[in-house]
Amino acid sequence: MAEANTATGNPPRPVNRSSGRPDNLRLLLNNKLATAGLAIFALIVLTALAAPLLPLPDPDVTAPADRLFRPLSEGHLLGTDALGRDILSRLIWGTRVSLAVGISATLIAAFFGSLIGLVAGYAGGRVDTFLMRGIDMVMAFPYILLALAIVAVLGPGLLNALYAIAVVNIPFFARNIRGIALGLSRREFVDAARLSGESNAQILFIEVLPNVLPVIIITMSTTVGWMILETAGLSFLGLGAQPPQADLGSMLGDGRKILFTAPHVSIIPGLMIFALVMSINLLGDGVRDVLDPRLKSGALTRPLARTAVIRDIAPGDIEPSPGAVLDVRGLKTEFRFGGEVFKAVGGVDMRVGRGECLGIVGESGSGKTVAAMSIMGLVPTPPGRIAGGVALLEGEDLFAVSDERIRQLRGSAVSHVFQDPLSTLHPLFTVGDQLIEAIQSHRSMPKSRATERAVELLNLVRIPNPAERLKSYPHELSGGMRQRVCIAMALADDARIIIADEPTTALDVTVQAQVLALLDKLRRERDVGILFITHDFGVVSAICDRVAVMYAGQFVETGATGEILKSPAHPYTAKLIDCVPVLGQPERRLDAIEGRPPVVNNLPIGCAFAERCPRAQDDCRAAPIPLTEFGQGRAVRCIHPILMEAGHG
């Protein structure tokens, strides 16, 4: 049936997620420093590669008569060294050697290091212990000392220096790669590959390796510069390139003795080493920035402490609705990426009275979290911004008050409880420390008094033996207990509103039932308003007086929970209720909602649900659908709502 819709509809391609090569190159070129690095490095490499073609004198032919010419002398652009050899020629040939050795050493170290890391990480257990202890042993020696020792055993020479540099760098690769491989090997796709009949070697090289490759490349690009420097170091000490062959290190070493009489002999190769290593490192950093997924997602850009508010028209004095603690009107929140605007929340009204619980229900991505986080300015900027509306907390416009005031209100008058308690609780401090800090941060009181208060709070959220529990660390508590501690923290300073975003979704059913019962009791006893976000109508029934159904950034239906469940008026609400199995009605046919919600950077003019709506008609697509009153205390954003007589369920 309509299933084909989903099957043939193109999955949306997120604008900022494609990972093709041209894209990466463009990203790299966006970075000015990396581009400069790339240009210098390319110039050096091309010159070095072209050495045999260039009209250069033989770098190793000595001409004692021409010794120590200054730069810019006739026939010797960069002068000559103590044996009368042309410095320009030696420099280019020497760079060639240094590059070749540095890059070969990197490749060797990367190959063996990555192999060890991959095998150790994937195999785990004894193999891992054995390999990594070996690596630790290598790392126990000071780096350059080990290289010196290896050359001392093998004897001086360029090739031996190469081996030494490669060997001392293997642990670096092995450790980096092992960590990644270890994580990947516990991922489900590895189990899936095993069940698809792949052998261990196939899994390691076909499944795991491609995912590790970017890390190997990052590690290589950030180490090759150092390896060139280390080779130069060994040659400088006379352990690398042997005369008459030149590399940058040995040239530097040759010039050292005559540093004062003929400084150019050592300064020129020194500058070259500097330019080479510098350009490689700039380029390497650029490559890392492009390939590192964390940097790509912007997770490392530091957002502002509060969401930017950019309202077209500053609203005049708005009278808060009587009895409302929180009164949000016309809230709009957007995300901007490049030229595109994602209207995550497109004009939402929320009203919560004392001791009232308003539920927001909707599919993933409908904007529930963004709407709730906008209230206290917790949406990250960039890319988020509040583009319109007001949020009145007992009459005070939260979008207009100072940062200082918001900071005061956060955690006191307005508290948050999140899905994952571990995102609120710090793992390294005891529950007591954190509770006491929360209490003292809003009201100064002596520690002993704060401790008493903490015990009271834990009692309130029904944690047995609270005085003892204060000494526990979060990981020592069960999921349900942790969530209770978070609720206790939310209550630390007489909250008037608790914003709870899926607070029970991660909990087991029996625990969920208790946490819901607890929240329900608290709001009745302490008159706290709750804004409760969930995707589960069952949970809504358990606690919410009123419910708002959200779709593509807007509320499509609001009203009393019981009424909406009994006779949903909006086709989306009806479908959302019908698509989940209900306990006690196993025979009920599940009615899937075909298709998927529209992407919020490209909303249709008319009804956002029209594509998936069985009742859609032409007029639905023509113009925006307003949220209109639909009986007492109810509103629906639909021009062909399901009427009660038509009967549902």
Partner 1 sequence: MADAALLSIEKAERVFGGGRNLFGRARPAVHAVQDVSIEVRRGETLGIVGESGCGKSTLARMIVGLDAPTAGRIVFDGRDLVAEAGRDLRRLSREVQYVFQDPVASLNPRKTIRTILEAPLIHLLGLDKQARAARLSELMDAVNLAPEFLDRYPHEFSGGQAQRIGIARALAADPKLIVLDEPVSALDVSVQAQVLNILDGLKHKFGLTYVFISHDLSVVESVSDRVAVMYFGRIVEVGPGRSVFRHPRHPYTHLLLQSAPAPGRRSLVSDDATAELPDPYNPPPGCAFHARCPRGTDLCNARLPRLEAVSGDESHQAACFHPHERR
Ligand X SMILES: Nc1ncnc2c1ncn2[C@@H]1O[C@H](COP(=O)(O)OP(=O)(O)OP(=O)(O)O)[C@@H](O)[C@H]1O
Residues that bind Mg ion (CB under 5 A): 369
Picking from 47, 59, 102, the residue whose alpha carbon sits closest to that of residue 233 is 102
Structure tokens at 522: 């608290």
Quote the least distance from Cβ 377 to Mg ion, whole Å.
Answer: 17
Distance CA(346)–CA(552), nearest Å, equals: 8
Candidates 34, 164, 209, 344: give the one binding ligand X (CB under 6 A): 344
Residue 609 binds: one of partner 1, Mg ion, ligand SF4, none (C-beta under 5 to 8 A by kind): ligand SF4
Alpha helices in 398-508 (DSSP H): 403-409, 431-442, 447-460, 466-469, 479-490
Stretches 220-228, 366-374, 423-431, 520-528: which one binds ligand X (CB under 6 A)? Answer: 366-374
Residue 344 binds: one of partner 1, ligand X, Mg ion, none (C-beta under 5 to 8 A by kind): ligand X
Q: Is 346 in the site for ligand X (CB under 6 A)?
A: no
Picking from 342, 338, 327, 332, the residue whose alpha carbon sits closest to that of residue 309 is 332
* 15 or 43: CB nearest ligand X: 15
Candidates 329, 368, 482, 637: give the one binding ligand X (CB under 6 A): 368
Spell out the residues 6+ positions from residue 408 whose beta carbon is closer than 8 angstroms to its own. Answer: 442
Quote the least distance from Cβ 615 to ligand SF4, whole Å.
Answer: 4
Cβ atoms within 10 Å of 74's Cβ, excluding its own? 6
Residue 616 binds: one of ligand SF4, partner 1, ligand X, none (C-beta under 5 to 8 A by kind): ligand SF4
Per-residue binding letters, 384-423, with ligand X (x by CB under 6 A) = x---------------------------------------
Residue 590 binds: one of partner 1, ligand X, ligand SF4, none (C-beta under 5 to 8 A by kind): partner 1
Distance CA(354)–CA(126), nearest Å, equals: 60
Q: Are 109 and 169 in contact (CB under 8 A)?
A: yes
Quote the least distance from Cβ 502 to Mg ion, whole Å.
Answer: 6
The secondary structure of 561-597, three-state, reads: HHHHHHCCCCHHHHHHHHCCCCCCCCCCCCCCCCCCC
Please report which helix (H) or strand (E) contains residue 463, including its range.
Answer: none
Structure tokens at 551: 């779709």
Quote the least distance from Cβ 339 to ligand SF4, whole Å.
Answer: 29
Q: Is 383 in the site for ligand X (CB under 6 A)?
A: yes
Q: Are strands 546-551 and 554-560 parallel, antiparallel or unpaired?
A: antiparallel
Per-residue binding letters, 525-554, with ligand X (x by CB under 6 A) = ----------x-------------------
Stretches 100-108, 146-154, 378-386, 483-491: which one binds ligand X (CB under 6 A)? Answer: 378-386
Q: What is the b/e burial string over 105-115, where b = at least 16 CB atoms within 10 angstroms of the residue's CB? A: bbebbbebbbb
Distance CA(104)–CA(245), nearest Å, equals: 18
Q: Is 365 in the site for ligand X (CB under 6 A)?
A: yes
Structure tokens at 306: 């509060």
The contact set with ligand SF4 (CB under 6 A) reads 570-571, 607, 609-610, 613, 615-616, 620, 625, 638-640
* 488 or 549: CB nearest ligand X: 549
Quote the least distance from Cβ 369 to Mg ion, whole Å.
Answer: 3
519 phi/psi in degrees, rounded to 5: -60, -40
* 11 or 155: CB nearest ligand X: 11
* 84 or 365: CB nearest Mg ion: 365
Residue 638 binds: one of ligand SF4, partner 1, ligand X, none (C-beta under 5 to 8 A by kind): ligand SF4
Q: Are 484 and 418 in contact (CB under 8 A)?
A: no
* 144 or 341: CB nearest ligand X: 341
* 139 or 616: CB nearest ligand SF4: 616
Candidates 8, 18, 364, 423: give the one binding ligand X (CB under 6 A): 364
Q: Are 417 and 490 in contact (CB under 8 A)?
A: yes
Distance CA(418)–CA(486), nearest Å, equals: 8
Residue 546 binds: one of ligand SF4, Mg ion, partner 1, none (C-beta under 5 to 8 A by kind): none
Per-residue binding letters, 309-328, with ligand X (x by CB under 6 A) = --------------------
* 341 or 639: CB nearest ligand SF4: 639
Q: Are 83 and 64 in contact (CB under 8 A)?
A: yes
* 497 or 544: CB nearest partner 1: 544
519 exposure class (CB count in 10 Å sphere: 0-12, 13-18, 19+): buried
CA 150-151-152 angle, to 5 degrees, is: 90
Structure tokens at 369: 């979290």
Q: Are strands 384-393 and 324-337 parallel, antiparallel or unpaired?
A: antiparallel
Quote the least distance from Cβ 627 to ligand SF4, whole Å.
Answer: 11
* 233 or 641: CB nearest ligand SF4: 641
13 phi/psi in degrees, rounded to 5: -105, 110
Residue 383 binds: one of ligand X, partner 1, Mg ion, none (C-beta under 5 to 8 A by kind): ligand X
Residue 512 binds: one of Mg ion, ligand X, partner 1, none (C-beta under 5 to 8 A by kind): partner 1
Q: Is 288 in the site for ligand X (CB under 6 A)?
A: no
Quote the least distance from Cβ 534 to ligand X, whole Å.
Answer: 9
* 128 or 611: CB nearest ligand SF4: 611
Sheet holding 497-501, edge to edge: 414-417, 497-501, 529-534, 357-362, 546-551, 554-560, 635-636, 628-629
Structure tokens at 541: 């029934």
Picking from 618, 616, 648, 592, the residue whose alpha carbon sits closest to that of residue 1 is 592
Structure tokens at 467: 């005085």
Q: Are 484 and 402 in contact (CB under 8 A)?
A: no
Q: Is 597 in the site for ligand X (CB under 6 A)?
A: no
CB-closest chain residue to Mg ion: 369
Distance CA(609)–CA(553), nearest Å, equals: 11
* 150 or 642: CB nearest ligand SF4: 642
* 164 or 357: CB nearest partner 1: 357
Quote the least distance from Cβ 576 to ligand X, whole Å.
Answer: 12
Quote the least distance from Cβ 59 to ligand X, whole Å.
Answer: 57
Distance CA(246)–CA(86), nearest Å, equals: 11
Residue 380 binds: one of ligand X, partner 1, Mg ion, none (C-beta under 5 to 8 A by kind): ligand X
* 353 or 571: CB nearest ligand SF4: 571
- In angstroms and rounded to an integer, the radius of gyration of the C-alpha atoms of the chain is 34
By CB under 6 A, the count of residues binding ligand X is 16
Residue 615 binds: one of ligand SF4, ligand X, Mg ion, none (C-beta under 5 to 8 A by kind): ligand SF4
Contact set with ligand X (CB under 6 A): 335, 342, 344, 362, 364-370, 380, 383-384, 535, 600
